[in-house]
């Protein structure tokens, strides 16, 4: 399957859903893809299992402040600088491009870059959703080294980083990005086809498209939320999809600390007055509590969508009075193992609750 221009709107909306409140507005990513496809043609979406074991796979992602991104946009030349420098450093050329993150704006960028390179983009990623940090990736959990990593900006400036851990790469990378203009491109987790097949979360790009498609089709018949839930239940990983709550937002609190946007949002049920849902977030939604009891928790996906249109709502645009539906969706199994939870489970976000799968929580009266 190729990713054609006509698919981008659905793909970007699905990516916003998998952003679980964060990951940035994929509007810019969609335009960047549209332009790249117009210039270079549509890229092939390669199933993960179709990768050759010895294929050379390179990731590409953007990192930076949203306020800066909306001015500097993306330049694929920047992405190319990051990837090509890493190719030269390792002495091997890319056979395929992979997304590090399938939620938000970073889902779209690898598609645009793959189009530019004339390479396939792998139908997989390293998060199965969006996360705020580089180390929070299945690649890291299952033993692919994050570095060497290259960070590049639009001036042709680039830095190669080699660290002993992914978390050190995140910390050093973050401070470098600030000095490189607060928005940059990076390529990390260089890997082989065999490593990708062992560590990546499969089929997430096509699921993103499927989610967007389901919402669009559902709108046609006036049932976008139902159509979305029905679609998720047909997927391999996201099949435990629960409508956690329907209500209106009655309170939103945010604070920016150490570069993160932390906060919480309180909803009140539309019918059953008195029932309340609280969502805690750090860029992405992390934890949903109904009347004080946890009903969904990271790494499972918690997504706030418009009740009428099923449009995903980012944590930045939550505000009083919105009528929303809150969905809880199971994360892929590889994102729920003990090793995985050590990297991006509740404790990694300083939450006091243990991880309990959404399907277990939903079955508990």
Residues 358, 364: Cα–Cα separation, whole Å: 10
Tell me which stretch binds another protein (CB under 8 A): 33-41, 118-126, 189-197, 231-239.
Answer: 33-41
The closest alpha carbon to 26, from 11, 44, 39, 41, belongs to: 11
**Binds another protein (CB under 8 A): choice among 52, 272, 319, 333:** 319
Could you say whether residue 143 binds another protein (CB under 8 A)?
no
Strands (E), 166-206: 183-187, 191-192, 201-202
Q: Look up tokens 């009075």; give the residue.
A: 321
Backbone angles phi, psi at 168, to 5 degrees: -65, -40
- 182 is a contact residue toward another protein (CB under 8 A): yes
Identity of the residue, 322 or 347, whose beta carbon is nearer to another protein in the bound complex: 322
- 73 contributes a contact to another protein by CB under 8 A: yes
For the CB of residue 317, give the shortest distance to another protein in the complex, in Å.
7
Footprint (CB under 8 A) of another protein, residues 45-64: 64
Q: Does 104 bind another protein (CB under 8 A)?
A: no
In whole angstroms, give the CA distance from residue 58 to residue 337.
Answer: 25
Q: Which CB sits closer to another protein, 50 or 65?
A: 65
Tokens 């180390």 map to which residue?
A: 135
Helix H segments across 91-137?
Answer: 105-117
Q: Report the C-alpha gap between 211 and 312 in whole angstroms.
A: 11
Contact between 304 and 243 (Cβ < 8 Å): no
Report the residue from 18, 32, 150, 169 that binds another protein according to the rule CB under 8 A: 32
Q: Work out which of 40, 56, 174, 264 binds another protein, going by CB under 8 A.
A: 174
Q: Quick one: which segment of 48-56, 285-293, 318-326, 350-358 binds another protein (CB under 8 A)?
A: 318-326
**Shortest Cβ 305–another protein spacing (Å):** 16
Tell me if 74 contacts another protein by CB under 8 A. Answer: yes
User: Is 311 a residue that touches another protein (CB under 8 A)?
Assistant: no
Q: For 252-280, give the DSSP string.
A: EEEEEETTEEEEEEEEEESSSTT-EEEEE
- For the chain, how many residues are written? 365
Nearest to 244 by CA among 264, 224, 229, 227: 229
Task: Select the residue interacting with another protein from 28, 119, 295, 310 (CB under 8 A).
Answer: 28
Identity of the residue, 155 or 239, whose beta carbon is nearer to another protein in the bound complex? 155
Q: Which residue ranges make up the site for another protein (CB under 8 A)?
A: 27-28, 31-32, 34-36, 64-68, 70-77, 112, 154-156, 174, 177-178, 181-182, 248, 250, 256, 259-261, 317, 319-323
């Amino acid at each position: 399957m190729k990713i054609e221009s006509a698919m981008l709107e659905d793909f970007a909306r699905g990516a916003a859903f998998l952003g679980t409140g964060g990951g940035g507005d994929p509007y810019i990513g969609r335009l960047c893809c549209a332009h790249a496809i117009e210039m270079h043609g549509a890229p092939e979406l390669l199933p993960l299992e179709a990768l050759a074991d010895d294929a050379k796979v390179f990731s590409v992602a953007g990192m930076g402040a949203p306020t800066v991104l909306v001015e500097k946009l993306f330049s694929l030349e920047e992405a190319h600088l990051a990837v090509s420098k890493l190719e030269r450093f390792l002495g091997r050329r890319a056979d395929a491009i992979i997304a590090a993150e399938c939620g938000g704006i970073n889902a779209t960028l690898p598609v645009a870059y793959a189009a530019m390179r004339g390479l396939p983009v792998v139908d997989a990623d390293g998060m199965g959703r969006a996360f705020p940090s580089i180390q929070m990736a299945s690649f890291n959990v299952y033993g692919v080294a994050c570095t060497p990593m290259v960070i590049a900006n639009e001036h042709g400036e680039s830095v190669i980083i080699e660290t002993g851990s992914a978390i050190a790469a995140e910390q050093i990378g973050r401070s470098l990005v600030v000095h490189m203009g607060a928005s940059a491109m990076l390529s990390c987790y260089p890997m082989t086809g065999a490593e990708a097949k062992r560590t990546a979360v499969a089929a997430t790009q096509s699921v993103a498209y499927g989610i967007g498609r389901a919402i669009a089709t559902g709108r046609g018949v006036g049932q976008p939320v139902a159509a979305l839930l029905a679609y998720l239940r047909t997927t391999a990983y996201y099949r435990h999809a629960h409508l956690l709550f329907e209500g209106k937002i009655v309170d939103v609190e945010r604070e920016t600390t150490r570069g993160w946007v932390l906060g919480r949002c309180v909803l009140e049920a539309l019918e059953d007055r008195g029932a309340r849902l609280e969502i805690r977030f750090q860029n992405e939604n992390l934890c949903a509590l109904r009347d004080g009891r946890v009903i969904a928790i990271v790494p499972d996906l918690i997504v706030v969508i418009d009740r009428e249109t099923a449009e995903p709502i980012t944590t930045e645009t939550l505000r009083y009075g919105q009528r929303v539906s809150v969905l809880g969706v199971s994360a892929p199994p590889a994102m729920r193992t003990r090793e995985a939870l050590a990297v991006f489970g509740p404790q990694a976000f300083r939450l006091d609750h243990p991880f309990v799968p959404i399907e277990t929580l939903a079955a508990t009266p």
